[in-house]
Structure 1
Amino acid sequence: MIKLLRVDYRLVHGQVAISWSGYLGADCILVANDEAAKDEMRQSVLRLSKPQRTKLVIKSIEDSIRAIKSGVTDKYNLFIVVNNIQDAERLVAGISELKYINLGVLPATKDSKALSKAIYVTADDIKSLKKLLNQGIKIDIQQVPTESIVTVNEKLLKE
C-alpha cells in the first residue's frame, strides 16, 4: 500500500527516514530517481540514511512504475520519495492510485520563487503543479508530520 509520495531534493535523510517513515508506519522506502538508480556511490550514501528496520529500494522512475503496477510492492507500507516535481508528475501519470503529493524541500535557485520557507519552484515546476492540480491531484507542503499543512492551489502558484 502506498502511504505517501514525497518530493524532497535530498531524497533519504534524517527527516524523511525517521520522522516520516515512523509517522506513516512505512516499512519500505522507494527512492524513485533515474540518477540514483545508476550511481552506486549515491546508493551507498542513501542506504546509510534509512531507519534500521526499513527496507530501502532505489529504482528509476520507469522501473518504479513497473514494480508498483506488478504488485510486488503491495506487501509493503510504501513511502515513495522523488527529488523533483517532474518525477512526481511522471509517477502520477504511470500509477493511477497516486492522488496526493507531499512537497517537502526544494532548494532555491536563481530562477525559482518561494512557495514556502522550504519550497522554491521554477516556471517548469509551476506548470507541472498546475497540470497535476487540474488532474485532481491534491498537493500539500509539509516538511515534517508535526508541521502545519499548506495546501497548494492555483492562487498560491500565482502569488
Structure 2
Amino acid sequence: MYYIITAHGKYAEGCKSSCEMITGDTSAFVPVTFTEEMTKEDVEKKYEEILAEKGAEECKAIIADLPGGTPYNAAMRIVSEHKNIQLVAGLSQQLLVLINSGEELADAIEQVGEIYGNTKVAKENKTVQAPKEPVEKNGIVNFRLDERLIHGQVATFWTRTLQADRIIVADDDVLKDEIGVSALKAAVPSGVHLSILSVDNAAARLNAGSYSGQRVFLIVNKTKTIRRMVESGLKVKEVNIGNMGEKEGRQRIKKSVYCTSEELADVEAVEKAGVTVFAQMVPNDEKKTFRSYLH
C-alpha cells in the first residue's frame, strides 16, 4: 500500500523528508512535484506513471496540498477512474507522521484537525480596504487567460486581491467535461459565485450588463477565446496572459507563458482592436505589456 503526495514546488518532498527524520522509512509515500512550467495534463501523466509502475489497486490515496490547486484538480480524473483511491487536501508533515506511525488515514486527518482546533491564536485588527471600482461597466475587474482556469493562484491569491465576487469561466469545451466542471466548482473560494458559460453566452451576458454592479473575474484558457470575445464586441480595456504551459510547437515568451505563432497572431489581433495585453502571473509580479517580452 502506498500514498501519492503532491504539492506546489518541493513541499511534498520536504514533508516526506521531515517525516523520515521522525518515523524512519517513508517508502509508502511517493512525492510528485508540481512546477510552474507544468500543465495539469503533465501532473495527470505523473500520477498515471506511478499507478502503472506500483499498481493502482495498491494506492490508498492521493494527498494534495491545496483544495482546488492544480495537483488536486489533476487528481480528480484519476480518482474518478479508480474508485479505491481517495483524494485528500491538506498535505502536512504531521499528517504523514501519523500515517507512517500506523494511524488510518481518516483518524490521522481527524487528529491533525484537533491540533489546529486546540491552538489559540490572537486575532489581529485588520483594516479592509474598500474595493476599487470595476475596470469595466460590465463588472469585469480582470480578464485573464489561464490554461489551468481555477487553481491555487486564482482561487487563493487573485480572487482575494481583486475582491471578486463572481468568477466567470468562458469555454465551450469545459461545459462538456463533467469532471472538469466538478473540479471548477470544488476550486471556487467560499462566498464567490461561479458561472461556467459558453464563449458566446458569456460575451452576450456581459455585453447585456447582466453582471453590472458585481466584481467579475473573467477567465478563459485560449487566446482564440479572447480574440473571439473582443471581436464579438466585449468591452474590455485590458487582458492578462497569466499562464500558458510548455507544449510542442510553442516558444517561450516569459516564465510560465509559451505560445505558438497562431496564438501570437490572436494576441496581435486583440491589441489591434485597442485592448492592452499584459502578462502577470501573480498580483505581486510587475505588470508589464505582453509585447515587452517579445524579442
TM class by smaller structure: over 0.9
Q: Which of 115, 122, 131 is equivalent to 2:253? A: 115
**Which amino acid is the alignment partner of residue 125 of structure 1?**
E
Larger Rg computed on CA atoms = 2
Provide the alpha-carbon RMSD of the alignment.
Answer: 1.3
Shift of 1:9: 0.2
Shift of 1:130: 1.2
**Could you list the per-position Cα deviations for residues 11-61 of structure 1 after superposition, in whole angstroms to 9, with x for gaps in the alignment?**
001111121111111000000011112222211111111110101110010
| TM-score between both structures, scaled by the size of structure 1 | 0.93
- Aligned counterpart, 1:27: 165
Alpha-carbon contact 1:92-1:99 (below 8 Å) kept: no
Shift of 1:70: 2.2
Shift of 1:131: 1.3
Shift of 1:146: 0.6
* Stretch moving more, 36-45 or 78-87: 36-45
User: Residues of 2 paired with 1:110 and 1:92: CA distance?
Assistant: 27
Q: Which of 60, 64, 85 is equivalent to 2:223? A: 85
How many equivalent residue pairs? Answer: 157
User: Residues of 2 paired with 1:110 and 1:32: CA distance?
Assistant: 25
User: Residues of 2 paired with 1:39 and 1:109: CA distance?
Assistant: 22
The unaligned stretches of length 5 or more in structure 1 are none
The unaligned stretches of length 5 or more in structure 2 are 1-138
Q: Which of 150, 157, 161 is equivalent to 1:12? A: 150
User: Residues of 2 paired with 1:122 and 1:32: CA distance?
Assistant: 21
Shift of 1:109: 1.3
2:245 pairs with 1:104: no
- Aligned counterpart, 2:177: 39
Consecutive aligned runs of 4 or more in structure 1 exceeding 6 Å deviation:
none
**Which amino acid is the alignment partner of residue 175 of structure 2?**
A
The within-5 A match list for 1:42-53 is: 42-53=180-191
The within-5 A match list for 1:139-154 is: 139-153=277-291
Shift of 1:75: 3.2
User: Residues of 2 paired with 1:89 and 1:61: CA distance?
Assistant: 11
Tell me: CA distance 1:143–1:156, structure 2 relative to 1, closer, same or farther (3 Å).
closer
Structure 2 residue matching 1:115: 3-state secondary structure: strand
Shift of 1:71: 1.9
